[in-house]
Amino acid sequence: MELYNKTLSELALMLREKKISSAELTKSIFDRIEAVEDKIEAYVTLNKENALKAAEEIDKKISCGEDLSPLAGIPIGIKDNISTKGLRTTCSSKMLENYVPPFNATVMNKLCDAGAVITGKLNMDEFAMGSSTETSYYKKTKNPYDQTRIPGGSSGGSAAAVAAGEAVAALGSDTGGSIRQPASYCGVVGLKPTYGSVSRFGLVAFASSLDQIGPIGKSVEDVAIIQSVINGYDKMDGTSQYREYTDYKANLKSDVKGLKIGIPKEYFGVGIDDNVKSSVMNAVKQLEGEGAIIKEISLPSTDYALSSYYIISSAEASSNLARYDGVKYGFRAENYDGLIDMYERTRSEGFGDEVKRRIMLGTFVLSSGFYDAYYKKAKLLQRRISNEFTENFKDIDVIATPTVPTTAFKIGEHFNDPVKMYATDICTVTINIAGLPAMSIPCGYDNNGLPIGLQLIGDKFAEQTLLNTAYAYEQLKGGFKLPTL
């Protein structure tokens, strides 16, 4: 039986009803990896032996009739910037090529407690800096819909693996769009949770005030199931927020009658592909047909979003990445002359060009002569962008926009033009700047058959409203379709 094209919730039911075993399911996912990984190159490290062992353990529990989480026995892939005890975590960088964490990220403990089976570590842009997974030191992941195109980034391996059936679902991380943008390009569902709702403990830091871990899956239900497991207060993360436990899946409702959806005109302007615009507006109309109320809104500071995002994220990155000095972690240059030379050579040889660009930019905007002109201004704009969302959420429930202005571009197309690459993040970065939850769900295809994503943005901790809206739309549109490979 082919299992790799089924959703997590379908498989969870089959496991519960003992129609399949986790060992069988896990084997079939690894068979799929064997069959298509050469084309997709989604994984940096595979965890086959441990995964098969874990699956057998879960099968024993299932046969004893233990009441298990819907994640029990489900093969899940993990972005390679999430610390996995005993399993290499490279951040797709030469700097961490041989780094094996001695501890688990909190989300990993939660997944393992729920009985998830870990398939391996997924490719990404180096240290999550990028929008195409091309900055990985190891390989270029391909889009399952067209292997001459990028899968998006930085969680490109996560989205491509799910779309290609190489994992039932995956975890990604999102600092400026890295869950939603690849989900959009690969035709899968991705959720970037509210800042503070999922613990960042064990997530290798890029820009700590913006980073969030979140799920990527084949359906809204799948994402709801994973989010219910990974979210929650964690004393190991100083920015973690305490909330009552919510079972998002159990509370899913497809009723959007009276739901107020805001359409910000600034997200539909220049640079938005016609196919993308019409698919997104079509999705909104379908929701209107189900009783949602559509309202045009304005978020005028959107114009400043990219500059403030790249200033704030690079400033934080330059500080976070100072720890890679050849002393504490991973790579150290082989030949050097004294301590300072060792630092310099280690960092010059260990980091790729994009990471160096961010470190230099971040150091520049934080330097005493330029701090007021750049960093301080970006922080003021962050407040303004955030206030505009807060004002709008006083009388609307959800905001709908495209996830990305275009569909997946060709490998190499923007690689040497960072400004063009950064511009693809225009619709996603504001959400991290404001700390809001948002998701991307497939809403159609362009003329080349490439997936288009609808982005839904919610107020802080309104994940359930977002998931319900996405669920309602998914019922209208129909579920996941596997691309032909």
Q: Tell me the C-alpha distance between 173 and 193, whole Å.
A: 10
- Of 156, 207, 136, 150, give the one whose Cα is nearest residue 429: 207
Both tokens of 31, joined, read: 């068979």
Q: In the complex, what is the shortest distance from the CB of residue 127 to ligand GLN, in angstroms, rounded to a whole number?
A: 9
Q: Is 215 helix (H, G, I), strand (E, B) or coil?
A: strand
Element (H, E) at 262: strand 260-264
Distance, CA of 28 to chain centre: 25
Please indicate whether residue 28 is annotated as part of the active site: no
Q: In the complex, what is the shortest distance from the CB of residue 151 to ligand GLN, in angstroms, rounded to a whole number?
A: 13
Please count the CA atoms within 13 angstroms of the CA of 229 that sit on its side-chain side: 23
Where are the alpha helices (H) located in 298-352, listed in sequence order?
A: 305-320, 339-350
Q: In the complex, what is the shortest distance from the CB of residue 7 to ligand GLN, in angstroms, rounded to a whole number?
A: 25
* Cβ nearer to ligand GLN, comparing 127 with 248: 127
Both tokens of 197, joined, read: 């709702």
**Catalytic residue (choose from 28, 93, 178, 240):** 178
Q: Tell me the C-alpha distance between 308 and 290, whole Å.
A: 37
Q: Listing from the earlier edge strand, what are the strands of the sheet with 438-445?
A: 43-46, 117-122, 75-79, 169-174, 212-217, 189-192, 438-445, 451-458, 398-402, 260-264, 293-297
Please indicate whether residue 308 is annotated as part of the active site: no
**Residue written as token pair 């109309």:** 285
Q: In the complex, what is the shortest distance from the CB of residue 309 to ligand GLN, in angstroms, rounded to a whole number?
A: 7
* Cβ nearer to ligand GLN, comparing 72 with 429: 429
Please count the CA atoms within 13 angstroms of the CA of 136 that sit on its side-chain side: 33
Q: How many CB atoms lie within 10 A of CB 140?
A: 17
Strand blocks (E) in 405-464: 438-445, 451-458
* Cβ nearer to ligand GLN, comparing 346 with 430: 430
Residues ≥6 apart with Cβ < 8 Å to 13: none
Strand blocks (E) in 123-211: 169-174, 189-192
* Cβ nearer to ligand GLN, comparing 176 with 202: 176
Length of the chain: 485
Residue type, 116: A
Q: In the complex, what is the shortest distance from the CB of residue 192 to ligand GLN, in angstroms, rounded to a whole number?
A: 8
Q: In the complex, what is the shortest distance from the CB of residue 260 to ligand GLN, in angstroms, rounded to a whole number?
A: 28
* Cβ nearer to ligand GLN, comparing 164 with 427: 427
Q: Is 68 helix (H, G, I), strand (E, B) or coil?
A: coil
* Cβ nearer to ligand GLN, comparing 144 with 176: 176
**Catalytic residue (choose from 6, 79, 142, 249):** 79
* Cβ nearer to ligand GLN, comparing 171 with 259: 171
Q: In the complex, what is the shortest distance from the CB of residue 152 to ligand GLN, in angstroms, rounded to a whole number?
A: 9
**Catalytic residue (choose from 22, 92, 132, 154):** 154
Write out the residues near ligand GLN by the rule CB under 6 A.
128-131, 154, 174-178, 206, 313, 425
Please indicate whether residue 79 is annotated as part of the active site: yes
Catalytic residues: 79, 154, 178
